[in-house]
Every structure is written in structure tokens, then in C-alpha cells.
Amino acid sequence: MRVLSTVLLVLGAVGCVLGTEVICYWASWTSYRTGHGKVTVDDLDPTKCTIYIYAFATLDERTLTMQPFDIHLDIDQRGYERFVALKERNPRLRVLLALGGYNDSGPKYSRMLASRERRNKFVRRAVALLRQYGFDGLDLDYEYPTAADKPHFAKLVAELKRAFRPYDMWLSTATPATRERIDEGFDVPAIASEIDMIHVMAYDFHGSWESTADHHSPLLPRASDNGRGFDVETTVHHWLRRGAPAAKLALGVPLYGRSWTVPGPDKRPSVAAGTGPGRAGPYSREPGTLTYLEICEKIHDGWNAVQDPSGRAGPHAFSGDQWVGFDDPSTAARKTLFALSLGLGGMMVWDVGSEDVRDVCGGGPWPMLTAINAYLELAGSATAVSPTQRPAVTARPTQVTTVVNTGAGAGRFTCPRPNGLYPDPYSCRRFFFCQNGKAESTACPANTGWDSQIGACNWLYNIDCQD
């Protein structure tokens, strides 16, 4: 099927591009799932990511300090120890412990943040816990700081980083995607000056809490959003405008879809009328959400999968009254190239326990991470994205016509927008990588060509390319 057979670009093992982080959360509760959906620490591939994050530790309600969330899994079954041991198979890997998550956040975080004494106690306990189990750092996942928390959260980041420096520990934070949440709770310049990486959770723009089925992580703005900014591009540019350095932003890609029950005949995104969440999947068992593995299994079982003809969002799939919008490997690839075109510091996925780890669907194991790494590998060989050429965050330049003298795509090309990917009018085996108004003609990998419908390279048998 087209939606699942789009090119992963590099056959066999691929590595991460030096200087670009691939950040992978592992939700520890996926080890309690059954069948193909069960993903334990032992199933993780430490070569697919540069940073692995164990989710989650908890903030103790009484002491307001960081504690293991699941003593049985984390400690008794040596979850922390086995997770840190992933570094034995990849010595360059960082392993972090994440604190919080949606279900652990709330007023207790505000209480901890508001007092310098309580923050200091939290910092001391965090350093001790991380060092006790050998973690390389901490990921803060407080969803989300309030307006009252805003100055105190920035102070906590600075205090943590100060305590981490003697041990060379990493500090990151997971952050919201909507402009209102960003502005309410994050002093971006203050945080960015101390933090190592900001993980932009550029998903969940839509969900079954709404009455219309829609893709929850569109890459580009769409008319149906009425200017609300519920898309990846708007979110990333908002972070940049607020003062976040591009090199400290990691773009989040969801390895799950949001689903609805849609009894009517119209299944188009932003049009289909939903009556509630879609039915739970056999592994995640959460109404309104399906993992990538659950979705690809359903497509193999006969669900209809449809790519967004505008190329602004990922595909959706439906069967009967069930509808789900999700990212596939081609969507992940396009988002990766988008991130690289802006000089972002990396990609992030939530979470690897939702991947097709065992090649159940026939697209190879780890298809989403393989796509991300493959496009990083492709881009890493192009001069347009060398680290020294990352653009500064400035006002958008005017269109620039660039003379390109690279292979079959030699000629003059005007970037329609300063940053992005565009078909090469001279060759269907190439595409233009525009960065800060400068165009670089780049070859698609062997046996692939540019597919304008999905905005990425695709297998030749899927497209009309006669070069």
C-alpha cells in the first residue's frame, strides 16, 4: 500500500547524523502490553537514537521531590539499570530520566516551583537519584507551567543546570505546541540560555475532545484551522520568534494517531463529523488513540488509507465508522527535512513503544525511526545543511534566485519560500533544498524520485519519473 510503502531511503542499517539529535522517549508502561504491542527495555535498539528517555519518574505529593513512579518495574525489575545499560551497546548514547507527564502534572508542581527552599530540595534529590542509577540527565515534562509558574520554572531550569554542570549532566524539557501555552508558561530566552534541548511536542492539535475528525499533527497551516496556528510550521516559528535558538529545538513526531467514531459518509479531515473517540486498540487500550503499530495492522487488514492531497498533513485511515489521522514514514521524513531546513537541533519521537518494532506490517522494523534517520543521513551529505550554515533567526528574506551547479539539476531556481523542499524542474530524481533563501539541488537515493504529492522521495514504481 502506498501509505506504508513509501521509501525509507537507505537500505539496511543507518546511523544518526553527527550533531543532530534523535531523541526517543520510551513509555515504561508499554512493557505491560501484550502481543506485538509489548515493548520492554530489552526490545529497544540503542543505535536508532542519540538520546533515550525513560518516561516517567513522579513528583512525590508530600516531599515534592523526584521519585521512581513504578517501584516494581523501575527498581525491583531493574528497569532503570537495564535502561542505562543500553549505553554498553552504544557508548555515544545519552540516557535520561523524564519527570512528570500529563497524568503526573498539576498543582503539586506549582507548590514546588514557588519556593526557593523547595526547589533546592528538589534539585538535590534529582541529582542524587540520577547519579545513583547512572542516568546522564533529566527531562522536565511538566504539562504545563501556568502564568504564575512562569518565572519560577525558569529559575528551576537555571538551578538544575548549575547543579548538573559538575557532573556533565544533560537537561531538557518537553514543551507544548500551541502559542497560548508557550507564552503563558515559558520565559523562552531565560530557559533557552540554560537548557540543552527543548522538545517541541508538535502534536495533539486535535483530538476526540473535538466534534470534527482531523489530523492531530499537520505540518503546514490549512484553511480549516482559521488561523489558529494548529500546525508544526507555525509552532516552530513561534518558538524561534520568542528567542529559542534553532539548534536547541527538537521537533516532536507522534508515533500514534488520534481517532474518532465517524458514522457519516464523509471521511475527509476537518469535515468528518465525529460523535466521540474511536474504539481502543488491542495494545494501547485507550479510546481515541491508536499506536502506529495498531494503525498499520488495521491497514493491512483492509482499512482504507488516504494521503492528504494538499501535502499539508499526514494520512488518515478509516473503516466503517472508525477514523484515524496519523503520521507515516513519509510524513516523518518530510518533518525531518523541514526541521533540517530551519537548522533545528534534532528530532524527537513519542514514543518508541508505539513503533512496529518487530516488522509486523512488512515495512521493516522501526519504520518511523528508520525514515527519520535515513533523511538525516541524506541531508548530512548535502552542503546545504552543514552545521556552520545554520541560519540565524531573522525576518524572512525575500525570494532569492540561486544558480545551482550540482549534477543534472544545474540551472537557475527561485525558492518559493526561504526554507523548504521543492521539486527540481530539471530532474524528477532530484529536489531543491531551500535554506534561508539559498537552493541546493539534492539527489534522491537510488531507485527513488521526487513525489510532489507527499513532498519526499518515493520508490520509482510509486511515481511517474522517466529520467
Whether 56 and 141 have beta carbons less than 8 Å apart is answered as yes
Whether 327 and 339 have beta carbons less than 8 Å apart is answered as no
Cβ contacts of residue 239 below 8 Å, gap of 6+?
175, 182, 188, 198, 200, 249
Position 434: which residue type?
C
Could you tell me the end-to-end alpha-carbon distance of the chain, in angstroms, rounded to an integer?
24
DSSP states along 134-180:
T--EEEEE-S---TTTHHHHHHHHHHHHHHHGGGT-EEEEEE-SSHH
CA neighbours closer than 13 Å in the CB half-sphere of residue 262: 30
Whether 272 and 264 have beta carbons less than 8 Å apart is answered as yes
The residues annotated with a catalytic role in the active site are: 143
DSSP states along 248-274:
GEEEEEESEEEEEE--SS---TTTSBP
Whether 48 and 369 have beta carbons less than 8 Å apart is answered as yes
The three cell numbers of residue 266 are 464523509
